[in-house]
Amino acid sequence: MADWVWSNVVVALLLMGTGGVVFYARRSRMWTETFSDLWRRRRFAVLVIGFYVLVALLDSVAWVGGMDQGEDTVARYEAQSILDRLFAGSQERSYSAPFADVEFYGGAPLTHPGAHILGTDLIGRDVLYLSLKGARVALLIGGLTSLLAIPLALLFGISAGYFGGRIDDVVFFVMSTLASMPGLLLLIALIMVLGKSTVAVCFALAITGWVGFCRVVRGETFKLRELEYVSAARALGVSEFGIIVRHILPNLMHLVIITFVLMFSGLVLSEAILSWLGIGVDGSWGQMIDQARNELSRDPIVWWNIVSAGLALFGLILAVNFVGDALRDTLDPRTLRETE
């Protein structure tokens, strides 16, 4: 089966999974109240995130054929996403300013005068198109890395916190070792070893990013395992695995949600830094910023590439942080106590 079919299947599964989670959450009073509170307090941020998700979906659903690719005959055999189809044939030769009719240097007429809302880059690609395509990469980096890091942190954190003893010693030793290494250098070394693919970058970010959350989970589990209902379950002969799955894990979910949201923005920013260092992911906003690094010192200045990528990055991070803060206010018992 072709790659693009798999990609569409994954998108479909993700959508179904999200639908399932929403359906499950609607049955829980706590989650319903949490999300209605979030919607009430951070409506605009939620809408912004929704927009990014929509754009990412438009760039994820792809198929082959059904469009004229002009001179690019290879593209006829490649899966094109909805976003690719919307911007097909928007290519120019080189830089053009937003809404310009002519090239920025030299003044040659454009193929699509006035059509490039955010201008075009050095090799004539539409900057709006590139900025929108960056959303998928950002969500992939943030989402996939969190999906790798959080289970890892939960596994080690709960094991250490619940069982203690030697297991705790080993986990704590691993955490301390990783925490003592300079994060960025470790990240660069891992990417050098693993390669520069999207999955490799996510994996490297996950390896360096799970420690902080693991420490929180470990501490929280220490507390939970001493509570009466856990002791009662143990006295009733419930297995350790059963206690963890039924009593410990559900009580950590608010932490998972908060961490996921806050970790997400950190990861997107980390990828931008990696791209700046030349080891990021193709098509990311970080790569756009890196490609445009000399443009601000040009004379006359080319500003639209870096500004567009920077604003796209800023918009997502800000919205996610707003939502993350709101979720923490709602879900974190400590902040609840403070607000009460």
Partner 1 sequence: MKSLAKRFSKRALFLFVLLVLACTNNPYPDADSDKKILYRSYVEAPRTLDPAVAYTTNAHAITGEVYDTLLEYHYLKRPYELIPALAAALPEVMTLNDGWTSYRFEMRKGLLYQNDPCFELDGPGHLTREVVMEDVAFELMRLADPEVNSPIVEPMSNIQGFQDFSARLMARREADPAFSEQPLPLQYAEVGPIEGAKVEGRYTLTLRVSTEYPQILYWFAMPFTAPVPWEAVEYYDGDEGRPSFSDHPVGAGPYVLSEYDKQSRFVLEANPNWYGVLHPEWKAPAATYPSEGAPGDFEAGRLDPEMVGQPLPFIERIEFSREKESIPLFNKFLQGYYDAAGVIKESFDKVIHEGGLSDSMEESGISLEKSVQPSIFYIGFNMDDATVGSEGGERSRKLRQAMSLVVDTDEYTRLFSNGRGVSAQSPLPPGLFGYDPEYVNPYRLIDLERARELLAEAGYPDGIDPETGRPLELTFDTQDTSAQGRLRFEFFTRAWRQLGINVKIEATNYNQFQEKVRNGAYQLFMWGWIADYPDPENFLFLLSSEMSRSVSDGPNTANFQNPEYDELYLEMKGLPNGPRRQEVIGEMLGILEEERPWIELTHSEAYSLFHKWLKNVKTMGMSTPMTKYRDLDHGLRAQKREAWNRPVLWPIYVGSALVVALVIPGIFTFMRERQ
Query: How many CB atoms within 10 Å of residue 266?
Result: 18
Nearer to partner 1, 291 or 335 (CB): 291
Q: What is the pattern of x (binds partner 1, CB under 8 A) and - over residues 123-142? A: x-------------------
105 near partner 1, rule: CB under 8 A: yes
Q: Which of 291, 315, 321, 329 binds partner 1 (CB under 8 A)?
A: 291
Nearest distance, CB of residue 202 and partner 1, angstroms:
18
Q: SS3 for the chain, per residue?
A: CCHHHHHHHHHHHHHHHHHHHHHHHHHCHHHHHHHHHHHHHCHHHHHHHHHHHHHHHHCCCEEECCCCCCCCCHHHHCEEEHHHHHCCCCCCCCCECCCCCECCCCCCECCCCCCCCCCECCCCCEHHHHHHHHHHHHHHHHHHHHHHHHHHHHHHHHHHHHHCHHHHHHHHHHHHHHHHCCHHHHHHHHHHHHCCCHHHHHHHHHHHHCHHHHHHHHHHHHHHCCCHHHHHHHHCCCCHHHHHHHHHHHHHHHHHHHHHHHHHHHHHHHHHHHHHCCCCCCCCHHHHHHHCCCHHHCCCCCCHHHHHHHHHHHHHHHHHHHHHHHHHHHHCHHHHHHHC
Range 170-199, binding partner 1 (CB under 8 A): 192, 196
77 near partner 1, rule: CB under 8 A: yes
Q: Which of 12, 170, 294, 318 binds partner 1 (CB under 8 A)?
A: 294
Range 194-253, binding partner 1 (CB under 8 A): 196
92 near partner 1, rule: CB under 8 A: no
Buried b (16+ CB within 10 A) or exposed e, 97-107: bbebeebbeee
Q: Which of 60, 159, 208, 275 binds partner 1 (CB under 8 A)?
A: 275
Nearer to partner 1, 223 or 293 (CB): 293
| Pairing of the two strands 62-64 and 79-81 | antiparallel
Choose the stretch contacting partner 1; rule: CB under 8 A; options: 28-36, 167-175, 238-246, 282-290.
282-290
Closest CA to 123 of 101, 94, 96: 94
Nearest distance, CB of residue 84 and partner 1, angstroms:
14
44 near partner 1, rule: CB under 8 A: no
Nearest distance, CB of residue 137 and partner 1, angstroms:
13
67 near partner 1, rule: CB under 8 A: no
Nearer to partner 1, 42 or 136 (CB): 136
Q: Which of 66, 237, 297, 338 binds partner 1 (CB under 8 A)?
A: 297
94 near partner 1, rule: CB under 8 A: yes
Q: Binding-site residue total for partner 1 (CB under 8 A)? A: 30
Range 251-270, binding partner 1 (CB under 8 A): none
278 near partner 1, rule: CB under 8 A: yes
Q: Which residues contact partner 1 by CB under 8 A?
A: 71-75, 77, 93-94, 105-106, 121-123, 192, 196, 275, 278-280, 282, 287-288, 290-291, 293-294, 297-300
